[in-house]
Amino acid sequence: MTTGNAIVVVNAGSSSIKFSLFREEGADLSVFLKGQIEGLYTDGAHFAARDTGGELVAEKRWGGETVTHDDAMRRLLDFVHGRLGDYRVDAVGHRIVHGGAEFSEPVRLTTEALARLERLTPLAPLHQPHNLAPVRTLLDIAPHIPQVGCFDTGFHASQPPLAQAFALPAEITERGVRRYGFHGLSYEYIASALPHYDPSLAQARVIVAHLGNGASLCALRAGRSVASTMGFTAVDGLPMGTRSGALDPGVILYLLDELKMGPREIERLLYKQSGLLGVSGVSSDMRSLEASDNPRARLAIDLFVYRIGREIGSLAAALGGLDALVFTAGIGEHSASLRRSVCLGAAWLGLVLDEAANESGASRISAPGSRVSAWVAPTDEELMIARHAKRLLAGADT
Ligand code: ADP
């Protein structure tokens, strides 16, 4: 193995740490191992790493012992050092959900930056502390390894002030209660990839549909975010696997006053028990819903498609027209049937679907001559993070 630099990308959630190892190859980076430690804080934590062919290269099960984020990160660093051979860890890049108004660009994670990011926890209490836990561990056990934070909100900092505003009194807005938008690393990656699909997309008015367990839409003009369906939190906008998406705010008051639900109960309802799962009563997983003959599963899919269609109209208005619609993430990349329904609903915008292309796994799925083109583009948030980490460190070296 030749000597070189490697970048570790970490995406830490409440009960898991996902990671990817990238090697520098010429000017870009290529992934060579991916894995995760799941089941943190349960008695069945599990570590697995796979190569790019999907072959299992390492595995460990913990029985009867509780594994914390700190334990998992220590184990991950040992594993990485053991696997890298002559490569050295150049940086660890972290996916961090919230950068607030302060962090719109990726940042070097020092003790001081970490403290500032911890202060944003009230804006994303379910994610921010878990995203930051591995940063703290590495600052402690490997302070010589540079760490870089990349934010899900960052890419949306380019939105005009009107797109970020709620119609609330100024003193509430000044506390940071505004629309931020999420899935920014996915949209940034797609924006960087689109010109390779068709050079005209670089300057176009594009709606990107990131449809995974979390789902949102982003309006891009010339590769920059101008509006998105997610706002103050990642529960806004489209219905998702288990999240409600946008609600009349009056519903929350009703839940509080009439149903006497407490804040944590409402949080559970909106984040964990709603969306595709809540409506169908069957599953949060699109594959299961598509395979089910339960009418409520059909209703959940129909509502998802309907809401996507309404939001496409809203974002097309924000863009002043539409040139292209792009599908990405688990559902967007893999469900031809969902894409078909969404594209048929967007016929009024001038989108004509190429049914055969949509079924065949082609990148371009609109018919020749369609005024609005439609595309399927795999996203790669991890690569985006690795690129940011590399770029930031290269800047720091000069
Ligand atoms: P996450 O937001 O957790 O990263 P993904 O982007 O992996 O999620 O998307 C997960 C969703 O993609 C699930 O609803 C899953 O059912 C759906 N999905 C994956 N493959 C297919 C497929 N072949 N057909 C339909 N849905 C799919």
Which CATH architecture describes the domain 184-381? 2-Layer Sandwich (3.30)
Burial 205-231 (b: 16+ CB within 10 A, else e): bbbbbbbbbbbbbbbbbebebbbbbbb
Residue nearest to atom 19 of ligand 1 (CA): 330
Query: What are the percentages of helix, strand and coil residues in the chain, rounded to 5?
Result: 45, 25, 35
**17-60 pLDDT, tens per residue?**
999 999 988 888 999 999 999 999 988 899 999 999 999 999 99
Q: Is the pLDDT of residue 1 over 70?
A: no
CB-based contact 312:349 (threshold 8 Å): yes
Q: Is the pLDDT of residue 2 over 70?
A: no
Average of per-residue pLDDT across 207-214: 97
351 lines ligand 1 (CB under 6 A): no
> How remote is the CA of residue 393 from the centroid of ligand 1, in Å?
33
Helix (H) / strand (E) element for 326: namely strand 324-328
Tokens 């050295």 label which residue? Answer: 88
Give the domain ranges of the chain.
4-151, 184-381
Fold equal for 4-151 and 184-381: yes
Please check if 287 is assigned to a binding site: yes
Give me the pLDDT at residue 43, please: 84
Tokens 């599963």 label which residue? Answer: 297
Average of per-residue pLDDT across 366-394: 96
- Cα-based distances in Å from 162 to 15, 206, 308: 36, 19, 22
Token pair of 379, please? 């996203």
Q: Where are the alpha helices (DSSP H) in 38-169?
A: 69-83, 111-118, 128-141, 161-164
Please check if 214 is assigned to a binding site: yes
Q: Taking the model in full, what pTM does it have?
A: 0.95
pLDDT range class, residue 312, cuts 50, 70, 90 = very high
Which atom of ligand 1 is found nearest the CA of 379? Answer: 6
For residue 12, which of 79, 67, 59, 63 has the smallest C-alpha distance? Answer: 67
Q: Is 152 a catalytic residue?
A: yes
**103-148 pLDDT, tens per residue?**
999 999 999 999 999 999 999 888 999 999 999 999 999 999 999 9
Please check if 46 is assigned to a binding site: no
Q: Is the pLDDT of residue 373 over 60?
A: yes
Q: What percentage of the chain exceeds 90 in pLDDT?
A: 90
Which CATH architecture describes the domain 4-151? 2-Layer Sandwich (3.30)
389 lines ligand 1 (CB under 6 A): no
Least confident of 84-88, 155-159, 386-390: 84-88
Of 152, 236, 323, 380, which is the active-site residue?
152
